[in-house]
Amino acid sequence: MRKSIYLLAAVLACSPFTAQAQMRALSDPVVAHPDPESLFTSNDPKLQRNKQAALHIMRELLQCDQWQRAGEWLTDRYIQHNPLAASGLAGVQRYFIEVAKRQPKDNCTKLTNPIVAVQAEGDYVTVLTVRQVPYADDPTKSYTTTWFDTWRFVDGKADEHWDPATLPAGAQQTNGLDVDTVLRESVERAAIEKLMWDYVRAADTLNADEYVKVFTEDGAFLKVKGHDALHKMIADMEKSQAPRRARGELGAMHHIMSNQSIEFLSPTRARVHYYWQTVFGGPAGSKPEPRVAAVGNGVDDVVKVGGKWLIESRNVAPPREQE
């Protein structure tokens, strides 16, 4: 049975016909310990000291944002091996206090982070935690995996840190961007890219029902606003093009979006910049010959409503200052 599961996973991973976004986790869910603070104790005095310092980092710093107290548990040089974070206590505090403006939380007496296990040996403490990751093709659903943080302690303070973070593909380099924000924006970026793909497919097939689904209720394409008006626009276009297609005068329609850049304005709002082309016709040598009908650049505003990204406005002819 286990061999069959591994073979299935390998086929899904390697098949050119299976999109990554369609995969689903095969593993059992990762489950947190019911009493996480009990894991930060040891009969060995040195391990007890280090485990308790790790507990304070998890609770007072990462959970409760009491970063003004970071010097109690981090050394001044605090070496980072997370590619998204710079080394040094001063830089850590400056980012969380001045840049991210994290506000300390009160009543922070109990650890609520989903801890799986805590392991300590010598100068090292490793904390395993549950991480919930949304699926790229359906952010309303998610799966669990395991995150780890490992610290090396010197005289009861963390002097060096490791975790499995990587630089996200397609994300812009940012000084001091925290891991949670980068992970969230990577997931949202994939969802927005899927939204734009759904848009062009509905437009190319002149499917009015699917076309309106990618817009908010009051969404707009240039000056055409609202589901009813958008539906009529596509239906009228399909009606007007049908006779020409029947006579072989008009080939298939393809909207091509390129050089796309997604600018996050807030956790629920983003702006998509891109170049576009409208092409009619099929492969080389087909009749009628392929032709470019129009080109330009666009700036679309998209919003997250009820956990789903939708187009609020699609502007394929923005003013020069918005390009």
Whether 20-167 shares its CATH topology with 185-322 is answered yes
Please state, in angstroms and rounded to a whole number, the distance separating the CA atoms of residues 214 and 216: 7
Per-residue pLDDT at 240 exceeds 70: yes
**Would the CA dihedral through 156, 157, 160, 161 be positive or negative?**
positive
Residue among 197, 166, 322, 182 nearest 264 (CA): 182
Those residues with Cβ within 8 angstroms of residue 254's Cβ, 6 or more apart along the chain or in another chain: 204, 278, 279, 280
How many Cα atoms are found within 13 Å in the side-chain-facing hemisphere of 30? Answer: 18
pLDDT digits (tens, 9 = 90+) for 23-77: 888 999 999 999 999 999 999 999 999 999 999 999 999 999 999 999 999 999 9
Q: Is 276 helix (H, G, I), strand (E, B) or coil?
A: strand
The residue among 168 and 91 whose pLDDT is bigger is 91
- Whether the pLDDT of residue 13 is over 50: the answer is no
CA nearest to 224, candidates 310, 154, 316: 316
Highest mean pLDDT among 228-242, 249-263, 280-294: 228-242
First to last CA, the chain: 55
Domain ranges, ordered by start, for the chain: 20-167, 185-322
Residues 169, 218 contacting (CB under 8 angstroms): no
What is the chain's length? 323
- % of the chain with per-residue pLDDT over 90: 54
| CB-count exposure of residue 78 (10 Å: 0-12, 13-18, 19+) | buried
The reply to whether CATH 3.10.450.50 applies to domain 20-167 is: yes
In the CATH hierarchy, which fold is given to the domain comprising 185-322? Nuclear Transport Factor 2; Chain: A, (3.10.450)
pLDDT in tens, 97-139: 877 778 898 878 899 999 999 999 999 999 999 998 888 777 7
- Which residue in this structure is represented by tokens 């009160």? 106
Average pLDDT over residues 4-27: 52
Nearest CA to 117 among 211, 196, 194, 51? 51
Confidence of residue 6 (pLDDT cuts 50, 70, 90): very low
Distances (CA, A) of 162 to 7, 86, 114, 131, 239: 32, 12, 19, 16, 60
Q: Which helix (H) or strand (E) holds 229?
A: helix 227-246
Burial bucket for residue 241 (CB in 10 Å: 0-12, 13-18, 19+): middle
Q: Is the peptide bond before 114 cis (omega within 30 degrees of 0)?
A: no
Tokens matching residue 140: 């309303």
Which long-range contacts does 258-266 make (Cβ < 8 Å, 24+ apart)? 260/193, 260/196, 262/189, 262/192, 262/193, 264/185, 264/188
User: Please, are residues 42 and 120 in contact by the beta-carbon 8 Å criterion?
Assistant: yes
Q: 188: helix, coil or strand?
A: helix
Rounded to the nearest angstrom, the gap between the alpha carbon of residue 97 and the centroid of all alpha carbons in its chain is: 24
Token readout for 288 is 């009628």
Cα 129 to Cα 131: distance, rounded to the nearest angstrom: 6
